[in-house]
Chains A and B, each alone.
Chain A
Amino acid sequence: MLRKLFAIWIAKSVIFIGKILNKKTTSMPGVLALKICPNIIRILSKFIKKEIIVVCGTNGKTTVNNILCSFIENYRIDNCEKTIVVCNKFGANMPSGIVTSLIEKTNIFGKLSADYACFEIDEAYVTKIFDFLTPHVVVITNLFRDQLDRYGEIDSAIKLIENALKKVKNSKLVLNADDPLIAEFGLEKFVIEKTDENINLSEMDTESKHVFYSKEYSFKKKENIYYFGIDEKISDNMDEVREGRFCILCGSKMYYEYYHYGQLGKYFCENCGYKCPEIDFAAKDIVFGESFKINEKVVKFLRWGIYDIYNVLAALSAISVCGIQVDFLKVHYPFQLGRMEEIGLNNMRVFLNLSKNPAGFNQAIHTILKKEEFKSIIIVINDNVNDGKDVSWIWDVDFEKLNNDKICFIGVAGSRFYDVALRFKYSEIAVDYFSEDIKQTICESFKSRAEVCYILVNYTALFTTRNIILEIRNNFNKNELKCC
């Protein structure tokens, strides 16, 4: 007990000092509190009066979690004035970040008062955290190849989540039906023994002999499973690496009626029968920049990316599963740093977008190319620890699509600028300027005739790049027309 209080006090003081120094402390207080009282997540999460929702998956965690949080905050329980939600809003998705967000809502006597909690949790920590935290609802957005050098391979990410889910058997799962790597978590398999006379191995020549499977499955949705998905074809097929091209259950090739991006779509396996399960929350009638429908309910939708649909859909599905009644016409898009964030500079509009993996980059490129204006594009790639030191994934991004006559400048910067420059060279796309220096590269882009500048960055490049843009803006405002 004393340990717990001590942990809370220490963490609270660090948060307080951070506030004085005007520094965001999202993880340090939690790191300290966990050292003092490893059990602190369990102790504090017991105080949450209603549901605890956890969001996992590769892309969109932060957005989904923030949409969830702002919806719930605006929801009035029994006409009470305020709904308090604990939320690790800033994407601090390791145990320390969760502890920090809990302690922020705890008073100095160790009592936490909150109605709901929404946490985004990194796949690598979810198993560990579920030892201390029992969520009512777990949302899984998608699984893409991300920061490979941290987890090994996508298969290990699947295993991590699978193991974690075993610990929370009573939780409701809200799963992306369109992701073959995820939908399977909610299905029970029954093996049907096949007596197949069609296949006679001895008659086949050895050269073309494939692996044959004599078993087929039938599937049944497990209890407490809810699927969301996009129930119509929306995009032209884009060529990119699809992680789930081979059936996760039997290894044979997966077929798609259509797919949206990455491996997400209407898939089926002819061999074993695995296919996109029936959807409980289906998005349809999608009009980008206007609206779409979830089970005939209209959702206001002022965004342009397919991933935006998934984010809103995942959040609203989870909210519906919790039984929270909200107005779908009032989707709050929480402001997020670097998610197609617009920063105006005199005559130039700059958009800053963070992508952490090929799927994210391809989506960003796809979204950018939808717009008609003359634009410059700058790619900033760093290889700091938080980015994953391996940058080979840049070869899986469809940079070839940037061979477009509306693009009048391509710049490359960041600590791995050479890797990106080579990536472009071997695709025979001309790079107008490359340098480790981000500021210089941005300034060079202003010399082109572009009206808009899109800067696509990876994780640790985000804050540096953002600060540089703000600095340039300040200089503009001070009427120093020279940018560098």
Chain B
Amino acid sequence: MVVNILHMYPDLLNLYSDRGNIECMKRRLLWRNIDANVIELTTESENIDLNYVDIIFIGGGSDREQKIVCEKLLCIKNKIRKYVEDQKVLLAVCGGYQLLGKYYKIKDEMLEGLGILDIYTESSDKRIIGNIILENELFDNKIVGFENHAGRTFNNCYKPFGKILIGGCYNNFEFEGVMHENIIGTYLHGPLLPKNPLVCDHLLNKALKQKYEEFLSLSKLNDDLEISANSLFCKKFLGKRKF
């Protein structure tokens, strides 16, 4: 078995060490003797055939970089639409998450999004910066990470990625992100996956099931280090929470 992971525009969207997510997916496949093939779609890539792609990852960049990516993405909008309609896996973090929506409004400027999700984002003067912890019943462990974004993304249609336990500090946002079909969109970086191996496996599982009918489930890995990291993080930051 082989999983083809497409990293979208790592040459532009690399602001928050997103390659950690790619590394995590890749290693967790290889450790299970499943081949992993990472393809980078850069600003210089000519053409891309998404038929061979099983997981798309798209990360975040500065507003300036995001504008460039936006132009590029709109050119392959239809391909991405079809990819999503095929129930394939897509993980979008930060800027990538914003671009999935209908638009991203930065002050007076409207940045057209891919419109794959019925969400929209508006920028604010105050950045939301800090550690963040989410809860999602799908996962036994909490989802931990760091957020740093000026955009406020409004999701009125889909299940969230998680209920906010701490984070989203300047808002009264109760939920964070989107989890819709095989798409996860979220502001969590740090990077997201290494400290949240269950989320990583969830995506890998979906991708393999989608691709191989005979695939049953992922074998267990020794995640002691990951789980300890996750637990200590929760202990440290949830402990301080005022109820």
Report yes or no: A392 in contact with B189, Cβ–Cβ below 8 A: yes
Interface segment among B64-72, B98-106, B107-115, B170-178: the answer is B64-72
CA distance A428 to B131 in the complex (A): 26
Partner of B195, one of A148, A211, A390, A419: A419
Report yes or no: A149 in contact with B148, Cβ–Cβ below 8 A: yes
Interface segment among A47-55, A107-115, A245-253, A463-471: the answer is A245-253
B23 at the A/B interface (Cβ < 8 Å)? yes
Could you say which residues of chain A place their CB within 8 Å of the CB of B47?
A: 207-208
Could you say which residues of chain B place their CB within 8 Å of the CB of A394?
A: 17
Report yes or no: A154 in contact with B62, Cβ–Cβ below 8 A: yes
- Measured as residues with beta carbon below 8 angstroms from the partner, the interface class of chain B is 35 or more
A395 at the A/B interface (Cβ < 8 Å)? yes
Among B12, B44, B189, B191, max chain A CB count under 10 A is at B191
Interface segment among B81-89, B133-141, B212-220, B226-234: the answer is B226-234
Among A148, A392, A423, max chain B CB count under 10 A is at A392
Closest A residue to B19 by beta carbon equals: A395
B159 at the A/B interface (Cβ < 8 Å)? no
Closest A residue to B12 by beta carbon equals: A246
Among B11, B47, B62, B65, max chain A CB count under 10 A is at B62
A205 CB, min distance to chain B CBs, angstroms: 9
Q: A251-B68, A395-B19, A421-B229 are in contact. Are A389 and B27 (CB under 8 A)?
A: no
Could you say which residues of chain B place their CB within 8 Å of the CB of A428?
A: 27
Partner of B130, one of A210, A389, A427: A389
B118 at the A/B interface (Cβ < 8 Å)? no
A396 at the A/B interface (Cβ < 8 Å)? yes
Could you say which residues of chain B place their CB within 8 Å of the CB of A395?
A: 17, 19-20, 23, 191
Report yes or no: A426 in contact with B17, Cβ–Cβ below 8 A: no
Report yes or no: A418 in contact with B232, Cβ–Cβ below 8 A: yes
CA distance A153 to B47 in the complex (A): 30
Closest A residue to B79 by beta carbon equals: A207
Report yes or no: A207 in contact with B75, Cβ–Cβ below 8 A: yes
CA distance A311 to B14 in the complex (A): 28
B43 at the A/B interface (Cβ < 8 Å)? yes
Report yes or no: A396 in contact with B17, Cβ–Cβ below 8 A: yes
Partner of B68, one of A211, A392, A426: A211
A209 at the A/B interface (Cβ < 8 Å)? yes
Closest B residue to A145 by beta carbon equals: B15
Could you say which residues of chain B place their CB within 8 Å of the CB of A426?
A: 20, 23-24, 27, 194
B187 at the A/B interface (Cβ < 8 Å)? no
CA distance A96 to B194 in the complex (A): 40
Report yes or no: A155 in contact with B24, Cβ–Cβ below 8 A: no
Report yes or no: A392 in contact with B191, Cβ–Cβ below 8 A: yes
Could you say which residues of chain A place their CB within 8 Å of the CB of B67?
A: 251
Report 26 cross-chain contacts, Cβ distance below 8 Å, ordered by A residue: A149-B129, A152-B148, A153-B15, A207-B76, A209-B75, A210-B71, A241-B14, A246-B64, A253-B43, A389-B129, A390-B16, A390-B146, A390-B190, A391-B146, A392-B17, A392-B20, A392-B190, A394-B17, A395-B191, A418-B228, A418-B232, A422-B226, A423-B20, A425-B194, A426-B27, A428-B27
Residues of A in contact with B (beta carbons under 8 Å apart): 148-149, 152-155, 206-211, 241, 245-246, 251, 253, 389-396, 418-419, 421-423, 425-428
Other than the given A253-B44, A419-B229, A423-B20, 5 more pairs (CB < 8 A) read: A153-B15, A208-B46, A389-B146, A391-B146, A422-B194
